[in-house]
Amino acid sequence: MPAERTVFWILMAVLVYQAVLCAIHTNVHAISVAGVGVTEAVIYIACMTVLIKRIRLEFVAVAALVAAYLLLMAILRNQLDPKGFRDVMIPILFYGLGREIGNGKYTDRVLKLMIILVLAFGFFELFFLDLFSRVFNIFSYYVSQGNLAAGSNWAKDSVLGLNGIRPEGIGRTILPSLIGNHRISSIFLEPVSLGNFAVIIAAWGLSKRRDEFKEMIFFLLAAATMIALSDSRYGMITVAALVVMRCLPLGRTNSWLIVMPLLSVTLLLLLATVFGGHYSDSVLGRLFVSGKTLSNLDLGMIFGLDGFNISFGDMGYPSLLTRLGLLLCVFLWVAFWMLKMEDERGDRFRAYITLYMSLILCVSGTSLFALKTAGILWFLVGCAAGRAKDALPARPAGASQPSGA
């Protein structure tokens, strides 16, 4: 189908565009933030060309409501925030693409190809770091976009990103004696994104039925390999939690997870006010500073009227609230949980990525909205919601649901 071919190339572009731009920056011509913006705009336009052919009424309604709200916020702030539009556009467009395709087998094939590509680049970086560094000067690439200061690279002679090397005294958590302090970033240029991608594919694998056990194991092994390469502490903890969820008889929908963001915020505030502490490059240190920052937000910041242009670093919830506002966050979250999934695989996947999103906002400021992983995530959500072609047949009335299925 033409739509499937177009979507395939869109997803491949999402996966590789940052690496391609970095290679051009390193070897041909400097790439500024405008170059990245134009590239992303081309990807969004390609998404629209697919969706415009069979556009859905609910898709238009949600997009119009969100756009109207963000324009109202721009008037109240007396300043337009393009990043807010961009962050909300990604879920809407890529969910639409996934809903348009609605084919789990097609998605499995695309994901497997992505995994092969990501692991190939990852092992290339691991075993041929000097050659990798000549092709991809990641530090210079991010400096040119204004994300890093030119003199901030503490790792001598390294052109990797700042988080590409664990500082002395902290070191790797996973396989330190084998890999050293190097954190693999692969095609994503950042180890954080590689860890996030690992959690996404683990969630997709764990959502499968028991008769798809081989597929499940493939995605889990791929995720474990990526987590080890990137030394993603977040990925290790989250995938372990997802495996526990899959093994426990929690029911099909896991609808209680709708309150997971509220629970996460509450725990952050408790950690900051009850236990105290200080910032450090550890899980507890980052959770503490996130909770402390949340406790200092005033009502204007919570509803997105103030602080939208402040950089909160690794603090996801303050970034989300000040940029989009509490009302839009609640609206989008309720809309996400109102999606009708075609079978229990979709229900499980939604529950698993709810945990993913709730936890990543505790320790990371912007990676949830990075196109290179967010586009893939929301495509999978759309595919799970529109997967009628290979959905399970409806169960007879009164039939029992297997625990953990």
276: pLDDT strictly greater than 70 = no
- pLDDT tens digits, one per residue of 127-143: 999 999 999 999 889 88
Check pLDDT > 80 for residue 56. Answer: no
Mean pLDDT, residues 253-260 taken together: 84
Banded model confidence at residue 265, pLDDT cuts 50, 70, 90: very high
Between 113 and 174, the more confident residue is 113
Q: What percent of the chain stands above pLDDT 90?
A: 47
Q: Is the pLDDT of residue 403 over 60?
A: no
Of 3, 203, 1, give the one whose Cα is nearest residue 111: 203
pLDDT at residue 402 greater than cutoff 60: no
User: What does the H/E/C string look like for the chain?
Assistant: CHHHHHHHHHHHHHHHHHHHHHHHHHHCCCCCHHHHHHHHHHHHHHHHHHHHHHCCHHHHHHHHHHHHHHHHHHHHHCCCCHHHHHHHHHHHHHHHHHHHHCCHHHHHHHHHHHHHHHHHHHHHHHHCHHHHHHHCCHHHHHHHCCCCCCCCCCCCCCCCCHHHECCCCCCCCCCHHHHCCECCCHHHCCHHHHHHHHHHHHHHHHCCCHHHHHHHHHHHHHHHHHHHHHCCHHHHHHHHHHHHHHHCCCCCCCHHHHHHHHHHHHHHHHHHHHHCCCCCCCHHHHHHHHHHHHHCCCHHHHCCCCCCCCCCCCCHHHHHHHHHCHHHHHHHHHHHHHCCCCCHHHHHHHHHHHHHHHHHHHHCCCHHHCHHHHHHHHHHHHHHHHCCCCCCCCCCCCCCCCCCC
Assess whether pLDDT exceeds 60 at residue 395.
no
Structure tokens at 263: 């629970």
- Nearest to residue 225, comparing CAs of 170, 179, 264, 177? 179
For the chain, what is the mean pLDDT? 86
Confidence of residue 280 (pLDDT cuts 50, 70, 90): low
- All residues at 6 or more sequence positions from 169 whose CB lies less than 8 Å from its CB, including other chains: none
For the segment 264-286, the average pLDDT, to the nearest whole number, is 76
Mean local confidence (pLDDT), 351-358: 94
Mean pLDDT of 268-291: 75
Domain boundaries, the chain: 2-259+325-386
Is the per-residue pLDDT at 308 higher than 80? yes
Query: What proportion of the chain, given as a percentage, has pLDDT over 70?
Result: 88
Q: Is the pLDDT of residue 378 over 60?
A: yes
Stretch 156-166: mean pLDDT? 78
Mean per-residue pLDDT, 157-175: 77
13-49 confidence digits (pLDDT tens): 999 999 999 999 999 998 988 999 999 999 999 999 9
- Using pLDDT thresholds of 50, 70 and 90, give the confidence band for residue 252: low
Tell me how crowded residue 100 is: count the other CB atoms within 10 A of its CB.
Answer: 24
- What pLDDT, in 10s, does the model give residues 168-207? 667 778 888 888 888 999 999 999 999 999 999 999 999 9
Largest CA distance in the chain: 66
